[in-house]
Structure 1
C-alpha cells in the first residue's frame, strides 16, 4: 500500500511538473455584459481588446516629466518598449494628454496583441528591464495596467509557521513526537498528489492560481485532521495493554475511519456543489478542493493504516492504563468539566451564545462584493505604487476607468455619429463622470469605443452606481438600432460580484438541505440535523461579519497587513459557505457520533452528552487548532484574495468548533433530551441505515464469551469499549 502511494505520487508529480499549464489571474464569467463586450472587441476591434502594461513615471523632486532631460530618457525607453515581442502600440504621454496638471506624473500604455491573461511573463520581465534607464535618471517608475495582475503563490514563511504550530498541537495531543509526525507526513503526501494533479489539469482547462492555493490550504488542513482522528482513536485503544495492535488499527479504521469517510464526503459534496453556481472559475476551484479532500480521505483509510502497521507496537502509549473496576468510569478530564458547566444552565448558555454570534454577524448586513484592485496589493508592490501615483496625478477615478463599447452596425450610416455624440453628451453630464474620451472607431467603423473616467475610486459604491446608470442608457441605443456595452476591469469586477451575489441564496439553500439529509442519515434524528444547520448558519454569519469588519471597514489593517479597505472578494461568501459547511459537519459528526454511541449503550441522554464530549473534546479542540493554524498562516500571504480566504476560514473554524460545536451543541442537546434522538417511523424506514459509530462491529476477542449473547444484541448495539 505504501509503495502504491509513492508510485502514485511519482506519476502524478511527473505529469504535474511537465504538463502543467499557465494559471490565470483573471476572474471572468462568460455571458456577463463586460465579458460580452470584451469578446466583441476581440472580434471586431482587436487592438482595443489587448492587454496593457502601463508605465507610470514620477519626476524627481523639483523637476517635471516634460523637462528635456527627463523627456529624452522617457522617449528612449518607450522606443525600447515598442520592440518587445507582442507589443502593437506604445502611447506617448505628451501626445495623448497623459501628463498630470503639475507635470510631475505621466504614464504610457504599452498595448499587446494578446489579451491580458495571455501576455507572457517573459514580455513583462523584458519591459521591467527596459524601464531601468528611467530610474538611473532619478525618476520613479512603476508598472500597472490590466496585464500586470500578479500570480497567486503560496508556501511562504507564514504558511510554514502554521504547519509548525500544527505539529506542536499534534505532539501535545498525542503525547508522542512519532505519532505527531505521522499526520503531517501522510497529509503532505496527499496534498502533494492533489496539488500536482491540479497543476496537471491546468494544462487542459483554464484555472486560476487561487484554485491551486485553495487545494493546498484545504487539503493540508483536513489531511492532518483526518489522520489525527484515526491515530488518536488507535492510541486510545492501545492504552489497554490487552489490546492487540493489529486489532486496534482495524477498529480505529472501522470507527474513526468510517466517520472520516462520512465527514470527508460532506466536504467533497459541498465543494463540488459550487458547480451549481454556473460560474466556471468557481466550479474549477471547488472541484480542485474536492479532489484534494477526497485524496485526504483515501490516505486516512488506506495509507495511514499501512503506516500504523509498520510502526506496530511503537504506537502504544508508554504508560498503558491498568484494567480496574473504575476503567469504565467517565474520565474526569477538562472536557467533562466543560460539558458539565455548559449543561448546568443550558438555556442561558444557548441564548448568550446565539446573541454573541448574531452580534459578530451584524457587520455582514453592509456586505459589498467586488474584486480587489491594485490598491489591495502589498504596499511594496509596483502595482500598488502605480495605483497611488495615478491617483495622485489624475484623481481617484482614473484607476476605475470604464470602457463604453457601442456596436453601431445596426444603426443607419447617417445616424451613427449623432447617436454616439448624443451618448457622449449624456455621459459627460453625469454627476460622477470626470472626463469622457473622444469616440474611437474600429477598423470596420462598426464598433465605437469611449473611455469614461469616474470621479470615484474603483471600490467605491458610487462607481458601481455609475456603471448601472451608464447601462440604463442601453434602451436608447437599442431603439436607434445599436447595442451598448460597458466593460473594463472595474465593470468586470462589478458584473462578477452581481452574478455571485445572485447565486449565493440558492447555494446556501442547497447546502442547508444537504446538511439536513446527511445528518438525518447519520444520526437517525430530525432535531439534530436542524440544530446542526442552524449552528452552521450562525458560524457563516459570524465569519462573514468579521470579514466585513476587517477588510471592508478597515479594522486591524495594520496587524493583518491589509493594504487597503474595499469590498469583500466577490466569491468569498460562496466559497466560505461551501468549505465551512464541510468542516463544520466534520466536527458535528465526530462529536455527535460519540454522543450517539454512548446513548445507544446507556439510553441516558445526559450521560451520553457528558461522555460524548469528554471523550472527543481533546481531539476536536486539537483538530480545530490545527485548522486555525493552517488557515491562519495564509492570512499573511501577500495576495489579497488568499489573505481574505485564510482569515475567513480560520475565524469561521474557530467560532464553529469552540462556540457552536463545543458549547451550543451540548447546551441544545441537553434541552432536547431524548427528543434529540427521535425520528418518525416512516422517515426511519425511508432513510438508509448508516453505521458510522461502528455499533455493529463484533466485540473484541475475549469480550464476548457467549455467542448467543451477541446474536440477541440490539440492532444498533455499540462496539465494546476497549
Structure 2
C-alpha cells in the first residue's frame, strides 16, 4: 500500500486528470444506461411461462390491451375507433391490432370496448411497444374518449418509468442528509466534500461501465437503482473512514503526506478487504437463474469496484491537496501554535468509550438481551416464503395507465379476462386439436374457470387453449389453478398430453420460483466465502465464526422487520404506505447479498481497530473499549449516511424499490446499533484471548485498522 501511495504522490496530476476524465466519460455512458435497460427477466429463460410467451409472440397473440371509454366505445364512434386502430398499428413494433373475444361488458361499466395489441418479439417486444404507446398517449386518444394501456409488458414498462423518477427523488432526499451528517461528523466543509466527491466519481465510473456493457448485455431495469443505492453508500463510507484516520494522524502532529501513508497502510487495507468481501457477496447473486438478478449483481459489482478504486486512488490525492483544511478551524489554530488538540491521536467519542465500558462490565447480560431482541424480529422471517410475490397493477399509483386499464377492464369484463391462463398443447398435426379439446373439457368444470376456448396457431402441431378465470392474475386462487394444471389433479387427468402453462399468473409463479430456487445455494456459498475472507483478513478463527453467526442473526432480524412493516396493515400504516404489499422476490435476494456485505464492512473496520490496540497492549478489554471509542462515531455517521440513502428509495412509488430501501435501512440500523454496539463487544469480552486464536500459525496479533 505504501508503494501505491508513493506512485500516486509522484504522479498526482496525471492520475487526477485521468480520474476526472474517466468520471466524465463514465457519466456520459451512465446517462444512456436507463434507455438501454430491459424490463422483466425475473423468470428463468427456460421456464414454461417464457416458452409460452415466445410461442404466442410468434403467432401474433395480443400481449397488450387497450381499454377505450367514451365516444369511441359507442356505435356512433366507429370512425374514431378505426382511427385509433390505425394509430396503434403504425406504432413501431406492433404486429397487429384486433378486437378481443370478450363477453359483453357489464351494464354498470358504461360505454367501453377493448382492443388487443400483438408485438414483435414476445415479452421484450411488448415492453418496447408499451414504451412507445405510453409516451404518445395524447396523440392516440380520440376526441371525446379516453384510452388506457394495460398488459404485462405495459406494467413492466411503467415500473421502469417510475424507477427513473424515483431515483431522482431518492437523490434529492438522500444527498442533503448525507451532507448534513458529514458536516456534523467532521466540522469542516472540505472534509465533507471529499466523501461526496468520491461517491460521485464511483457512481459515474461504475454506472458508466455498466452503460458500456449494456450495449451488448440486456441489463435489468433494477440495475441503476440498486447500483446507485449500494455504490453511493459504500463510496461515501470508505472515504469517511480514510478522512477520519488522516485527521487523527494530523491531530497528533504527523505531516500530511505521512498521515495519508499511514491511513492507506491501515484503513486503506481494511477498505480493500471490505470491498473484496462486498464484491464476493454480490457475485453470489449469479447463482440465481434470473437475468434481472444477475445483471443487477453485475451493476453492483462494477459500482463497488469503482468505490474501492475511488477511495484508494482518488481520496489520497484529494486529501494531500487539501492538507490541514480537513481539520476544523479551531484545530488548525491550535496546531499552528504548536499545541496539539489530540496529543495521543485518539479523536474518539466519549459516548462510545463509556458505552464500551458498560458493555464489557456485564457482557453476559448484554449479549443475552441483544440476542433475544433480534431473535424476536427473526420470527416473522420464518414466514418469508409465503410473503413473496410479484407486484400487481393495484400496487401502482392511482394515476397509472396500467392500473386504470386493469381496473376498468375488470369492472367491465371480469378480473381474469385480460390476463388469461395460456396453455400451449404440443402434439402431432393430426391430434393437436383433439388434445386441445380434451384440455378445454378438463378445465371447463373447474370452479375458478369462467370460460376456456381452443385457438389454432400457425404451426399445426401446436394448439392454444385460453382460459379466462373469475379472479385476477395476482389472486392466490388463480395461482392454485396454474399449479393444479402443472402438478395437481388436473395435470394427472391430462396425463399423456404434452403442454406448457403460461400467461401472467404463470410468469409470476415462475419468476418467484426462479428467484427462490437459488437462494439456499447462494446463501451457503456467500457465508462460506465471507468466512474464508475474514479468516485471512483477521487472522483468527473465532472472530470470523462469530461474525458469520451475527450476520445470520442480523439478516434474520432485518428480513423479519421488513416482513412486519411491508405485509401487515399496522406496519404499512407505521411507515406511511397506503396498503400492505407482499415482498417482491428480488428484494430478499438483494437484501441477503447487501446486508451480509455491509455487515462485514463494519465488522472489518471495527475489529481491525480493536486488533491494532490488542497488538500494542495485549489487553483484550481495553482494546475493545478503545476500538469502539475510535470507530463508534464514524461508524454511526456512516450508518446514518446509508440510512439516508436508503430512506430516499423508501419513498419510491415502485414497490420493489420501496421495500428494498426500507429493508436495507432496517438492516443498517440493526447492524450499527445492536450488533456493532452490543453483540460484538460483549461477545469479544467473553471470548477473551480466544478472539485471536489461529491454529498452527505463529503470528503477531491483529493487523490493519
Whether these two folds match at TM > 0.5 is yes
Match of 1:344 among 333, 352, 361: 361
User: Which residue pairs with 2:391 in the alignment?
Assistant: 372
Residue 564 and residue 204 in structure 1: after superposition, are their counterparts in 2 closer, same or farther (change >3 A)? farther
User: Which residue pairs with 2:657 in the alignment?
Assistant: 642
Residue pair 2:426, 2:432 contacting (<8 A) in 1 also = no
User: Which residue pairs with 1:656 in the alignment?
Assistant: 671
Q: CA deviation at 1:618?
A: 0.4
Q: Deviations over 1:639-692 (max 9, x none)?
A: 2222222121111111111111122111111222222222222xx37xx99975
1:299 aligned to 2:324? no
Moved more, 382-391 or 525-534: 382-391
SS at match of 1:234: helix
Residue 15 and residue 624 in structure 1: after superposition, are their counterparts in 2 closer, same or farther (change >3 A)? closer
Q: Deviations over 1:473-494 (max 9, x none)?
A: 4566562xx4211112221121
In the alignment, the residues of structure 2 paired with residue 556 and residue 70 of structure 1 have an alpha-carbon distance, to the nearest angstrom, of 48
Q: CA deviation at 1:20?
A: 8.3
Structure 2 matches for 1:170-189, cutoff 5 A? 170-189=182-201
User: Which residue pairs with 2:555 in the alignment?
Assistant: 540
Q: If the length of structure 1 is used for normalisation, what is the TM-score?
A: 0.87
Residue pair 1:199, 1:212 contacting (<8 A) in 2 also = no
Residue ranges of structure 1 left out of the alignment (5+ in a row): 695-722
Q: CA deviation at 1:597?
A: 1.1
User: Which residue pairs with 1:8 in the alignment?
Assistant: 22
Q: Deviations over 1:330-367 (max 9, x none)?
A: 96700011222222322222222222222222222222
Task: Write 1 or 2 for the structure with the bigger share of helix.
Answer: 2
In the alignment, the residues of structure 2 paired with residue 179 and residue 108 of structure 1 have an alpha-carbon distance, to the nearest angstrom, of 60
In the alignment, the residues of structure 1 paired with residue 546 and residue 242 of structure 2 have an alpha-carbon distance, to the nearest angstrom, of 26
In the alignment, the residues of structure 2 paired with residue 177 and residue 96 of structure 1 have an alpha-carbon distance, to the nearest angstrom, of 65
Q: CA deviation at 1:279?
A: 3.0
User: Which residue pairs with 2:602 in the alignment?
Assistant: 587
Q: CA deviation at 1:499?
A: 1.9
User: Which residue pairs with 1:360 in the alignment?
Assistant: 377
Residue 20 and residue 202 in structure 1: after superposition, are their counterparts in 2 closer, same or farther (change >3 A)? farther
Q: CA deviation at 1:420?
A: 1.8
Q: CA deviation at 1:454?
A: 2.9
| RMSD after superposition | 2.7
Q: CA deviation at 1:298?
A: 0.7
Q: CA deviation at 1:232?
A: 0.7
Residue pair 1:187, 1:223 contacting (<8 A) in 2 also = yes
User: Which residue pairs with 1:38 in the alignment?
Assistant: 53
Q: CA deviation at 1:181?
A: 1.2
Residue pair 1:474, 1:484 contacting (<8 A) in 2 also = no
Residue pair 1:419, 1:477 contacting (<8 A) in 2 also = no
1:431 aligned to 2:438? no
1:441 aligned to 2:448? no
Q: If the length of structure 2 is used for normalisation, what is the TM-score?
A: 0.89
Q: Deviations over 1:521-543 (max 9, x none)?
A: 22222221122111111221122
1:386 aligned to 2:386? no
Residue pair 1:89, 1:111 contacting (<8 A) in 2 also = yes
SS at match of 1:448: strand
Residue 399 and residue 670 in structure 1: after superposition, are their counterparts in 2 closer, same or farther (change >3 A)? farther
In the alignment, the residues of structure 1 paired with residue 596 and residue 84 of structure 2 have an alpha-carbon distance, to the nearest angstrom, of 53
Please list every run of at least 4 consecutive aligned residues from structure 1 whose deviation after the TM superposition is greater than 6 angstroms. 18-21, 688-691
User: Which residue pairs with 1:147 in the alignment?
Assistant: 153
Match of 1:288 among 289, 299, 319: 299
1:210 aligned to 2:222? yes
User: Which residue pairs with 2:485 in the alignment?
Assistant: 470
User: Which residue pairs with 1:633 in the alignment?
Assistant: 648
In the alignment, the residues of structure 2 paired with residue 213 and residue 92 of structure 1 have an alpha-carbon distance, to the nearest angstrom, of 38
In the alignment, the residues of structure 2 paired with residue 384 and residue 393 of structure 1 have an alpha-carbon distance, to the nearest angstrom, of 14
Residue 460 and residue 342 in structure 1: after superposition, are their counterparts in 2 closer, same or farther (change >3 A)? farther
In the alignment, the residues of structure 1 paired with residue 81 and residue 701 of structure 2 have an alpha-carbon distance, to the nearest angstrom, of 72
1:199 aligned to 2:199? no
In the alignment, the residues of structure 2 paired with residue 196 and residue 351 of structure 1 have an alpha-carbon distance, to the nearest angstrom, of 47
User: Which residue pairs with 1:702 in the alignment?
Assistant: none
Residue 265 and residue 471 in structure 1: after superposition, are their counterparts in 2 closer, same or farther (change >3 A)? same
SS at match of 1:439: strand
User: Which residue pairs with 2:546 in the alignment?
Assistant: 531
Residue 332 and residue 147 in structure 1: after superposition, are their counterparts in 2 closer, same or farther (change >3 A)? closer
Residue pair 1:477, 1:484 contacting (<8 A) in 2 also = no
Residue pair 1:33, 1:487 contacting (<8 A) in 2 also = yes
SS at match of 2:115: strand
In the alignment, the residues of structure 2 paired with residue 22 and residue 501 of structure 1 have an alpha-carbon distance, to the nearest angstrom, of 27
Q: Deviations over 1:375-401 (max 9, x none)?
A: 222222212222222333334444653
In the alignment, the residues of structure 1 paired with residue 592 and residue 613 of structure 2 have an alpha-carbon distance, to the nearest angstrom, of 31
Match of 1:87 among 88, 94, 97: 94
Q: Deviations over 1:133-153 (max 9, x none)?
A: 2xx42x553221133122231
Residue pair 2:207, 2:303 contacting (<8 A) in 1 also = yes
Residue ranges of structure 2 left out of the alignment (5+ in a row): 1-14
Aligned residues: 671
Structure having greater relative contact order (Cα 8 Å, sep ≥ 6): 2
Residue 10 and residue 655 in structure 1: after superposition, are their counterparts in 2 closer, same or farther (change >3 A)? same
Match of 2:232 among 209, 216, 220: 220
SS at match of 1:161: helix
